[in-house]
Chain A
Amino acid sequence: EAGVAQSPRYKIIEKRQSVAFWCNPISGHATLYWYQQILGQGPKLLIQFQNNGVVDDSQLPKDRFSAERLKGVDSTLKIQPAKLEDSAVYLCASSLNRGDTEAFFGQGTRLTVV
């Protein structure tokens, strides 16, 4: 079974620029998560989708972050404009359903904002 795919693996941008990350979850997984992991901290949930609907985006900084999951499969996470404090690893994960099964993670995108 193919795992969760994310791209790019690494990205370096200047502050105030825009960036987008892409995630392809495991086939058949209804739930998709985007996490932000800042060095020294645990992953923080940014947004959770159930199929193509948003379940939780309470910790998403909506003034600069946006995410979509068109057709309930692939997802993109965008930051516009980026700030220095956005430097982190952005992890995408998927699970069969909401909160009740193991989540499978992609390798993450390491973003550095300079």
Chain B
Amino acid sequence: ILNVEQSPQSLHVQEGDSTNFTCSFPSSNFYALHWYRWETAKSPEALFVMTLNGDEKKKGRISATLNTKEGYSYLYIKGSQPEDSATYLCAFPSYDKVIFGPGTSLSVIP
């Protein structure tokens, strides 16, 4: 059974702090890793699709890195803002299905 893990489960940071969290996935048969942001009462929104070992993607204050050999990806948020409060999900496509991690719930306190 393939397992995708995320840590921490939840995080509370002050506005302006930088933060990061981790997604761990099986390192064999890697195809891609997806990061999603899921705000309350909205659809999960795709942030990044990462495919290459050593990949680094950036969107505004959010960036992500990928290590396929050891099976992890980091998501970084620089200078957190209240609007960054959401659950961040990583997803691992495996052959013909997509397996989600449990998510990291981020709360940014003004």
Chain B contact patch, size range: 20 to 34
- Which of A65-73, A78-86, A98-106 is the interface stretch? A98-106
* Count of interface residues, chain A, beta-carbon cutoff 8 Å: 27
- Known contacts A100-B93, A102-B49; decide if A42 and B44 are in contact (CB<8 Å): no
Within 8 A of A (CB), among B22-80: 31-32, 34, 36, 41-46, 49
Q: Which of B70-96 contact A (CB under 8 A)?
A: 89, 91, 93-96
Docked complex Cα distance between A41 and B105 (Å):
10
CB <8 Å contact, A103 and B96: no
Q: Which A residue sits closest to B94, measured CB to CB?
A: A99
The answer to whether B93 touches A106 (Cβ under 8 A) is no
In the complex, A48 has a CB within 8 A of chain B: yes
Given contacts A41-B102, A42-B89, A42-B103, contact A105 B43 (CB under 8 A): yes
A35's contact among B34, B93, B100, by CB below 8 Å, is which?
A: B100
- Let me know if B93 and A99 touch, CB within 8 A: yes
Once the chains are docked, how many angstroms separate the CA of A43 from the CA of B98? 10
CB distance from A92 to the nearest CB of B (A): 10
Chain B interface (Cβ < 8 Å from any Cβ of A): 4, 6, 9, 31-32, 34, 36, 41-46, 49, 89, 91, 93-103
Closest 3 CB pairs of A and B: A42-B102, A98-B96, A99-B93
